[in-house]
Amino acid sequence: MIAKEFLDMLVCPVCRTALAEGADGASLKCSQCRRVYPVRDEIPILLVDEATIDPS
């Protein structure tokens, strides 16, 4: 789980849209470009190569 103060500062590195915590708590999702970034050991991995695209 990422602290709310920290989450408010995070944006997608591709489109600069604010990220939201995923339902599973192990990812961050961009609502604009639908990229899903993993969170490992409570550290967001905001690398485009590590992201997946959510089809929904």
Show the domains of the chain with their CATH numbers.
4-53 (2.20.25.10)
Average pLDDT over residues 34-51: 94
- Does position 5 have pLDDT exceeding 80, yes or no? yes
Q: What average pLDDT is seen over the chain? A: 92
E strand segments, 1-56: 19-21, 27-30, 35-40, 43-44, 52-53
